[in-house]
Amino acid sequence: MPSSDDKKNDRRSVDENTKSKDLEQFRESSDDAYLTSEQGVRVNHTDDSLKAGVRGPTIMEDFHFREKMTHFDHERIPERVVHARGSAAHGFFQPYENAAKYSKAGFLQDPSKKTPVFVRISTVVGSRGSADTVRDVRGFSTKFYTEEGNYDLVGNNMPVFFIQDAIKFPDLVHAIKPEPDNETPQASAAHDTFWDFASLTPESTHMLMWVLSDRALPRSLRMMEAFGVHTFRLIDADGKSRFVKFHWKPALGVHSLVWDESQKLAGKDPDFSRKDLWEAIENGDYPEFELGIQVVEEDDEHSFDFDILDDTKLIPEEEVPVTPIGKMTLNRNPDNFFAETEQVAFQVGNVVPGIDFTNDPMLQGRLFSYLDTQLIRLGGPNFNELPINRPVADVHNNQRDGYGRQKINKGKGAYLPNSVRGGCPMHAPENMGGYVHHAEKVDGHKIRERSDSFKDHFSQATLFWNSMSKPEKDHIVKAAHFELGKVKDKEIRKRVIYELFNHVDHAFAVQIAKGVGIDPPSSGATKNHGKKSPALSMENTVKDSIKTRKIAVLALEGYNHAHVSAVKSALMKEGAQVKIISERGDPLQSDKDKLEVDMTLITTGSIMFDAVFIPGGKDSAGALKKNGTAVHFVNEAFKHCKPVAAMGEGVDFLKACRLPGIQLPDSEKSGVTNEKGVVAGNPDNPDSFIKEFIRAIAQHRHWDREHIDTVPA
């Protein structure tokens, strides 16, 4: 297995092949450099302002003080109205094969070509200072720096949206943001104004089901699907158009947190997701996402029982399979959060030849909104000249001046047609890469109405519900209990249940009603059609790897070193990360050796790990029994359905934790048991124990113990 140094060396070599040379002139390191002003004048003292005498007034001619303070006063720019809290990474995209049969886009043609990318992943509702693990949609935006210009695929980790027409977007955001009278709650939909809006907007029902599901609580930004949401067009070299839906599928599979875990992480480690992405890249565990497409021929546009231009609908993968066309690898963290992550400007309208738009009214509105937003947030029309936004393609046009202009244009004649510059910059014909919009025939009256094909608001919400496993359904119900339980207005709660959820599934609506103090509806408003799409269930995604999973080893003085050594070595060989957790931070003494402690019980918790292991060692296990924090650590992991494992005397500690419904073996006898993800025993050969533990971790959660007796955690 490659070492961490090998991975970092590989990352450096990949970077050299993919990073934009145009950006390098903007990267700056202050190593071995003198302090200077913004004009390059060296500064000999920055700890005291210039004064008239040591106790006298500060003198206005202190240009260094004025420049330093002025810059500080203007360091903040307006945060994004939505998607304010984000994390980002550099990487590259590489197609699997020539995709010319679908699109003439250059970056999809050559399997040997690596196109640089910059990806920003964000929550939607919260401010920049909110927590990472809140229940929310996650934005997933990718900027491809192609040789034909920048292409931005601006999507979410859910394939549908709340509303069908962009004119309702301000209403949606105003409703879901903190209420204007008291500016609460932060980063949450669990309040009156959002559910009031939703209850009066039936088209939001499908998206509500996704937001109430575990998809809104990703275990990691590296372990979630993402989607282009809208239906776009692919155009081939002959000008033929096809409809397309874009999918990003993570190599590690799709995994989630649980709600109790998410809430606790928001307090214990509000930067959990951000740090997880950063650390994975620094460790050389580069996140990978496969780009897939669902292609629909124009002749088949109306062959579905929904409108493919309706962004509240998805195309089931069982009807149109997702075709993988390439892979994206994120292999480099930003050098500066503000300059890159904060100043990156994505626009839905940034497309290249071979990719075009459809008449999806939400998409059409976004084409205006994103550009308009960047103008105010980044101070004017030259935001595209910021290093992170600069294309690698040559830029030649007649745009001039404005705030923050960096380009120094030479010559005269900033207009077309002209003769003073020989007609340059000249028009590019289509065969020379000029962008030509698809010639779609459009004919109709100007009218403020919505197509009848957009008026089915419940069928796909029911499809989503039917497709969930029992644990996933239980979590949706509990999420609705929490969300609606925070709604003070009883009429709003009733309207959500009767006017929305009772059209999804009657039994579902009854369960919600019972949990939020509303009389259940007596009968279903709409009959459940019984259709399913297995691809929508997270339980059907990859469960065969423990790569990058974080495993906690609880140990005190007197632990069994052989147990720790064997388990740690095997888990790391499979790509997992193993952390030693103890009461204090000093090295632990075992029967044979010493062990460095990574974290202490007071600074961490089971919520930060994917599994827990307790090694043998009489003294260690005995002391753990008396440590309430350690007992809570295991009980909490058990409550959250995570794998728990113990060897030798460590099994005695598990017995002290009183895990309900689990029959633990005698610690002295040989053999290994794996009951509902609790692996325990005293094996003659640790290989069998380790194999069962790895299998339990790969499953991610063990929902079969979710409803056993109450866990004291």
Q: Is the dihedral of CA 650, 652, 658, 660 positive or negative?
A: positive
- Of 162, 200, 203, the C-alpha closest to 491 is 200
What are the C-alpha distances in Å from 100 to residues 326, 418, 429?
13, 37, 20
The residue behind tokens 């049969």 is 101
**671: left (phi > 0), else alpha (psi -120 to 50), else beta?**
left
* First and final C-alpha spacing in the chain: 38
Q: Is the dihedral of CA 76, 77, 78, 84 positive or negative?
A: negative
- Of 533, 139, 83, 538, the C-alpha closest to 314 is 533
User: Can you tell me the distance from the alpha carbon of 187 to that of 176, in angstroms, rounded to the nearest whole number?
Assistant: 9
Residue 19, both tokens: 């990073």
Radius of gyration of the chain (CA): 28
Residue 346, both tokens: 């994505």
User: Can you tell me the distance from the alpha carbon of 3 to that of 575, in angstroms, rounded to the nearest whole number?
Assistant: 11
User: Can you tell me the distance from the alpha carbon of 548 to that of 330, in angstroms, rounded to the nearest whole number?
Assistant: 14
User: Can you tell me the distance from the alpha carbon of 435 to that of 238, in angstroms, rounded to the nearest whole number?
Assistant: 14
Chain centroid to CA 151: 20
User: Can you tell me the distance from the alpha carbon of 35 to that of 43, in angstroms, rounded to the nearest whole number?
Assistant: 6
Residue 523, both tokens: 């009968």
328 contacts 291 by C-beta, under 8 angstroms: yes
For residue 693, the cross-strand partners are none
Number of alpha carbons in the 13 Å side-chain half-sphere of residue 424: 7
DSSP 179: B
- Of 448, 460, 537, the C-alpha closest to 214 is 537
For residue 292, the cross-strand partners are 247, 324
Preceding omega of 185 cis (within 30 degrees of 0) = yes
User: Can you tell me the distance from the alpha carbon of 246 to that of 358, in angstroms, rounded to the nearest whole number?
Assistant: 14
Q: Is the dihedral of CA 406, 411, 413, 416 positive or negative?
A: negative
Q: Is 328 helix (H, G, I), strand (E, B) or coil?
A: strand
91 contacts 329 by C-beta, under 8 angstroms: yes
Catalytic residue among 83, 475, 503, 561: 83
DSSP 449: -
User: Can you tell me the distance from the alpha carbon of 688 to that of 676, in angstroms, rounded to the nearest whole number?
Assistant: 17
601 contacts 268 by C-beta, under 8 angstroms: no
195 contacts 484 by C-beta, under 8 angstroms: yes
Neighbours of 165 (CB within 10 A): 16
User: Can you tell me the distance from the alpha carbon of 657 to that of 633, in angstroms, rounded to the nearest whole number?
Assistant: 10
The residue behind tokens 């740090």 is 275
Long-range contacts of residues 33-39, Cβ cutoff 8 Å, at least 24 apart: 37/63, 37/64, 37/67, 38/67, 38/71
Catalytic residue among 150, 156, 331, 502: 156
H/E stretch holding 92: strand 86-95
83 belongs to the catalytic site:
yes
Residue 617, both tokens: 């060692």
For residue 151, the cross-strand partners are 144
User: Can you tell me the distance from the alpha carbon of 86 to that of 338, in angstroms, rounded to the nearest whole number?
Assistant: 11
Strands 323-332 and 232-235, sheet pairing: unpaired
Q: Which residues are catalytic?
A: 83, 156
